[in-house]
Copies of this chain bind each other. A is one copy, B any other.
Amino acid sequence: MATKCENCPLRRRDLFVQFTEPEIRFMQKFKAGELIVDPGTPLLMEGSNSPQLFTALHGMGLRYKTLENGSRQVINFVFPGDFIGLQAGIMGEMQHSVEATTRMTLCVFDRSEFWNFFRNHPDRAFDITWMAAVEEHFLGEALASLGQRSALEAVAWSLCRIFLRGQALGMVDRGTMPLPFKQQDMADALGLSLVHTNKTLAKLRERQLASWSDGILQVNDVEPLAELALCSSEPPVKRPIM
């Protein structure tokens, strides 16, 4: 039933580094199974000590933290190829929650094998550290968005990053890609109110820079969007896949 690693549909995408045959066979052994979840299902909870780690194969999700006053900070959006649970694997406990936004298919790995894996396969261990470093980089950029960009710039930045990621994943078709989140999700990601996020999205639509409605993001030309967003329009770096 489960997808074989050798047939993994993700591996072929531009976004990912290509594996050698032995690497694929090894990952296959490490893979414990496959999980399909419905929209809204929590995958990992902040403070939990999950026995399982995942790689998103299909579908999208959200990482977020909840503060003591009840407000929610969305850390980022989960796309296919993302590794979920690194903190649980390394630190023993998640520092944020992850939940499925759409129906998702996930590769499942056993946390109990994680240390063995890390010890016996230094190149894969390196890949894991690499992913952690990339995540750190992303969070640094996000920090700069919340701290230094205006609402318009921040929303543009967010859509720009998402669109470039979508392109690298082959999800973009004639300038459009699915983006099945709610405006509230983006508001919580950027530290804006829902109302202001809505008005800002309207402004981008008006200026013909980006249009996001009914779960579809349309960007005709990334360049002017990236320019407003004060960010690069380069495709994201190739990443390993777990």
Residues of chain A at the chain B interface (Cβ within 8 Å): 65, 67-69, 71-73, 75, 86-87, 90-91, 95-96, 115, 118-120, 122-123, 125-126, 128-130, 132-137, 139-144, 146-149, 188-191, 230-231, 237
Contact = CB atoms under 8 A, between A and B. Distances in A.
Contacts of A230: 67-69
A20 to B, nearest CB: 17
B91 A147 contact: no
Contact of A143 (B69, B129, B139): B139
B132 A136 contact: yes
A175 B118 CA distance: 42
Nearest to A73: B144
B137 A140 contact: no
A34 B70 CA distance: 47
Most buried by B among A119, A125, A231: A125
B90 A147 contact: no
A132 B129 CA distance: 7
B136 A73 contact: no
A124 to B, nearest CB: 11
Contacts of A90: 126, 129-130, 133
Contact of A122 (B72, B95, B125, B135): B125
Nearest to A142: B143
A93 B135 CA distance: 14
**For A86, A90, A126, A147, which residue has the most chain B Cβ atoms within 10 angstroms?**
A147
Contact of A137 (B87, B189, B237): B87
Given A139-B143, A143-B142, A118 B122 contact: yes
Contact of A133 (B115, B119, B122, B132): B132
Contact of A190 (B118, B144, B147): B147
A144 B146 CA distance: 10
Nearest to A75: B140
Contacts of A142: 139, 143
A75 B138 CA distance: 12
Nearest to A230: B68
A190 to B, nearest CB: 7
